[in-house]
Amino acid sequence: MRVTVLAGGVGAARFLQGLVQVVPPECVTAIVNTGDDLVFHGLHVSPDLDIIMYTLAGLINDQTGWGIAGDTFACLDFLSRYSDDTWFRLGDRDLATCIHRTGLLQSGQSLTDATVALSQRLGVGVRLLPMSNEPVPTQIVTPDGVLSFQEYFVKRGQRDEVREVHFPGIEHARPAPGVLGAIAEADAIIVAPSNPFVSIGSILAVPGVRQALRERRERTAAVSPIIDGSAVKGPADRMLRSLGVESSAYGVATLYQDFVSTFVIDEQDAALADRIRELGMKVVVAQTIMRGPSEKRALATVALDAARG
């Protein structure tokens, strides 16, 4: 049994915690968004890869959903004596990850190889694949101008209206080694509950990925990140509205209908099932809010069954 998951950050990491209770971690591949990667004081930071890696390694700070539990900020505090550029909150241990990753990249390794090295050392059994080894930084167009993803998300706290999302240069990016194979060879493909534009949209924009998924539509399921019109966390609901899509599970389904055959929606959205079926998708109604381990496991089981038809 091989399962491939398309993944952003926190929502995906929590979903993967459930999945590894149902299938052995070695059978799971996560294709992870790298559109929100950034260079911070010369260090290569991959926020979504690290959120997933720390979560699966049992190191995550559960309060924030990012960073390492119990981490300290001595380095960042001292850095603030030299620089005003300390808005991206990286703890001391988190910085160690980024220092090691940057060293591996500078010695000529790809992000794929560096990710294998880091996740092996942290004892992560799931195969984590960056969507691409080429940098493809997401840009957010707002009424005040164009922002990098992390300026929008962290520095300005997602307060700007999002008018457009761009992936400049992505037409020249290639899927990282293993990505197309993980789609072609999977017994089940699951789109995690992640932001449809800036987490999943970036992965879909890598040339060849969307087409590869379309060819596996019958084996692909998605979990809605929108419940009762709202995101569980983050700006996905506001982004849907400002980008002209209905802020609902139905709205997300319209974005995925060409490559997803079964859509998992929350019990609170059962009334949307018929409209989603009219898009040519099957619908599974389930409890999709992941609080504790048993809810994560239950959602993973539902999504896996949905993807396997």
Between 112 and 268, CB nearer to ligand GDP: 268
Q: Is 195 a binder of ligand GDP (CB under 6 A)?
A: yes
Q: Is 16 a binder of ligand GDP (CB under 6 A)?
A: no
Q: Is 8 a binder of ligand GDP (CB under 6 A)?
A: yes
Interface pattern 24-53 for ligand GDP (x via CB under 6 A)? ------------------------x-----
SS3 state of residue 74: helix
Q: Is 236 a binder of ligand GDP (CB under 6 A)?
A: yes
Least gap, CB of 288 to ligand GDP (angstroms):
4
Q: Is 130 a binder of ligand GDP (CB under 6 A)?
A: no
Least gap, CB of 203 to ligand GDP (angstroms):
11
Residue with token string 């990012």: 66
Q: Say how many residues touch ligand GDP, by CB under 6 A.
A: 23
Secondary structure (H, E, C), 150-201: HHHHHHCCCCCCCCEEECCCHHHCCECCCHHHHHHCCCEEEECCCCCCCCHH
Among 19, 231, 240, 260, indicate the residue that binds ligand GDP (CB under 6 A).
Answer: 231
Q: Is 199 a binder of ligand GDP (CB under 6 A)?
A: yes
Instruction: Using alpha carbons, select from 95, 110, 113 the residue that is nearest to residue 42.
Output: 95
Q: 95: which 2 tokens? A: 């910085």
Whether residue 283 contacts residue 267, with contact meaning beta carbons closer than 8 Å, is answered with: no
Between 35 and 104, CB nearer to ligand GDP: 35
The number of C-alpha atoms within 13 Å of 248 and in the hemisphere containing its C-beta is 11
* Strands across the sheet containing 262-266: 127-130, 28-32, 3-7, 188-191, 220-223, 262-266, 282-286
Between 50 and 71, CB nearer to ligand GDP: 50
Among 5, 12, 147, 243, indicate the residue that binds ligand GDP (CB under 6 A).
Answer: 12
Give Dmax (Cα) for the chain.
Answer: 58
Between 212 and 303, CB nearer to ligand GDP: 303
Q: 213: which 2 tokens? A: 């998924």
Residues near ligand GDP (CB under 6 A) = 8-12, 14, 48, 193-195, 199, 223-225, 227, 231-234, 236, 288-290
